[in-house]
Amino acid sequence: MTETSRHVTDGEDVAPTDDSQRAMVDETLRAEGDIGEARSLTQDAWRQLRRSPLFWVSAAMITVFVLMAVAPSLFTSLDPAKGDLSRSRETPNAAAWFGRDLQGYDIFARCIYGARASILVGVFATLGTSVVGSVTGMLAGYFGGLADTLISRIGDIFFAIPLLLGAIVFLSSFRGDDPGYFQVVFQVVLVLVVFGWPSIMRLMRSSVLQIKPNDYVSAARALGASPVRILRSHVFPNAVAPVIVVSTINLGVYIAVEATLSFLGIGLIPPTISWGVMVSDGLPLLRASPHVLLFPAVFLSLAVLAFIMFGDAVRDAFDPKSR
């Protein structure tokens, strides 16, 4: 996709537009995220996860980051918005553990407070794409025909526009006056959802296509269950695993995308603090005061890494072929 790194993964969603063939490709590609019988597997997966150091390390890191986002004051008592120009670019010291940036802000406090925006963007963009993508994907896959064609083509329209390009145009167009904290965050989330849902939609659709011919679906239909009920109780639980796996990985990717958007000046804007904003502010200081760039970059990378590793561990656990 774009250089902001891909908002899809491992090709699970790169299914071609043709139906018959898409199924073939998907079958091969989705091997990684595949899951046959959800219930028994969940227990198996958990058993394997418990033994995976990768899982524990990433889960611990994620817990810390989420805690930072929810209650930053637990980690620091300093005010991240208190700029003291006379102490601009101070190197790390006892009072300011990570030093200070150009504006004389405490970098440690800002790294802590920056977690909120970055995690919010990641979590809500992931939730948004998963919900929109899953619903449309199920409808397309289950009902087929006109609904499928319509949804697939609309998905193609958004999918064909590179994420970064779409985001630039979109955010330039619709940024209102003096937006508040959550407005700013949700504009960015909205962009990521608008241009990100088709990949999940394709993934869900191909999962549903595989599940639809199964006996238990036919049986439910024969028993007169409504489509809503069938989708909710039978199709969704069996088709959702690959979506969960891919979404976890996407979460990390979205955090990195936010940083790139902020670098281009169209992502989050002050007074919102985010790692992306900090990194792009620190980049000009690369040579003069590298610590200003280093600390937020490390936080950003660790968070992205944690979510991607987490997703990866979960995927391995759910992959029946890897056992």
Partner 1 sequence: MRGTTRKVAVAAVSAVALLAAGCGGGDGDSSDSAAAGAEGGEITIRGCNPENTLVAGNTAETCGGDVLNVLISTLVHYDPESAEPSNDIAESIETDDNQNFTVKIKQGYMFHDGTEVKAKNFVDAWNYTAFGPNGQEGSYFMSVIEGAEEVGAEDSTTEEMSGLAVVDDYTFTIKTTEKVSNLPIRLGYTAFAPQPDSFFEDPEAFGKNPVGAGPYKFDSWTENQAIVVSKFADYAGEFGGNVDQITFRIFQDSGAAYSEVVAGNLDLTDDIPTSALIDNIYQSDLPDRNAAKATSYYGYIGINPEVDKDLSNPDVRRAISMAIDRQQIVDTVYNGTYTPATGWVSPVVDGYQADVCGESCVFDPEAAKAMLEEAGGFPGDKLTLSYNADSDHKAWTEATCNSIKNTLEIDCVATPLVDFSTFLTKLSDREMKGLFRSAWVMDYPSIENYLGPIYGKGAGSNYFDYDSDEFNSLLSQAAGAEDLEEANSLYQQAEQVLAQDFPTIPLWYGESKAGWSERVDNVVITPFGRPDLRVLTVSE
Partner 2 sequence: MGKYIVRRLLQMIPVVLGATFLIYAMVFALPGDPTAGKCGERECSEAYKAAFYEKYNLNDPLPIQYGKYMANVVQGDLGENQYGNDVAGELGDRYLVTGKLALMALLWEGVIGIAAGALAGIRKGGFMDSLVLVSTLFLISIPVFVTGVVSQFFLGVKWGVASVTVSADATVYELLLPSFVLGSLSMAYIARLTRTNLAENLRADYVRTAKAKGLTPQRTVGLHALRNSLIPVVTFMGYDFGALLGGAIVTEGIFNIQGVGGYIFRGVNNRDGVAVVGAVTVLVVAYLLVNLLVDLLYGLLDPRISHD
Site residues for partner 1 per CB under 8 A: 82-86, 88, 102-104, 171-172, 175, 177-178, 265-266, 269-271, 281, 283-289
Cβ-Cβ contacts under 8 Å for 167 (sequence gap 6 or more):
191, 192, 195, 257, 261, 266
Task: Determine which residue in the list 85, 94, 146, 157 makes contact with partner 2, applying CB under 8 A.
Answer: 157
Which of partner 1, partner 2, none does residue 279 bind to, with CB < 5 to 8 Å depending on kind?
partner 2
107 is in the binding site of which of partner 1, partner 2, none (Cβ under 5 to 8 A by kind)? Answer: none
DSSP class of residue 30 equals G
Indicate which of partner 1, partner 2, none lies near residue 121 (CB less than 5 to 8 Å, by partner kind): none
DSSP letters for 40-105: HHHHHHHHHHHT-HHHHHHHHHHHHHHHHHH-GGGT--S-TT---GGGTTPPS-SSSTT-B-TT--
DSSP, collapsed to helix, strand or coil, labels residue 106 as: strand
Q: How many other CB atoms are there within 10 angstroms of residue 28's CB atom? A: 9
Q: Which of partner 1, partner 2, none interacts with 16 (beta carbon under 5 to 8 A by kind)?
A: partner 2
185 binds, among partner 2, partner 1, none (CB under 5 to 8 A by kind): none
Looking at the Cβ atoms of 178 and 215, the one nearer to partner 1 is 178
Alpha carbon of residue 288 to chain centroid: 33
Identify the three-state secondary structure at position 5.
Answer: coil
Residue 103 partner contact from partner 2, partner 1, none using kind-dependent CB cut-offs of 5 to 8 Å: partner 1
Q: What is the distance between the terminal CA atoms of the chain, rounded to a whole angstrom? A: 31
- Residue placing its CB nearer to partner 2 in the complex, 163 or 211: 163
Check binding of 172 to partner 2 (CB under 8 A).
yes
Q: What is the phi/psi pair of residue 156, to 5°?
A: -60, -40
Site string for partner 2, 262-281 (x = CB under 8 A): -xx-----------x--xx-
**Dist CA 138 CA 205 (whole Å):** 6
Q: Is 297 in the site for partner 2 (CB under 8 A)?
A: yes
Point out which residues bind partner 2 (CB under 8 A).
1-6, 9-11, 14, 16-18, 21, 24-25, 28-29, 31-32, 153-154, 156-158, 160-165, 168-170, 172-175, 252-253, 256, 259-260, 263-264, 276, 279-280, 283, 286-287, 293, 297, 300-302, 304-305, 308-309, 312, 321-322
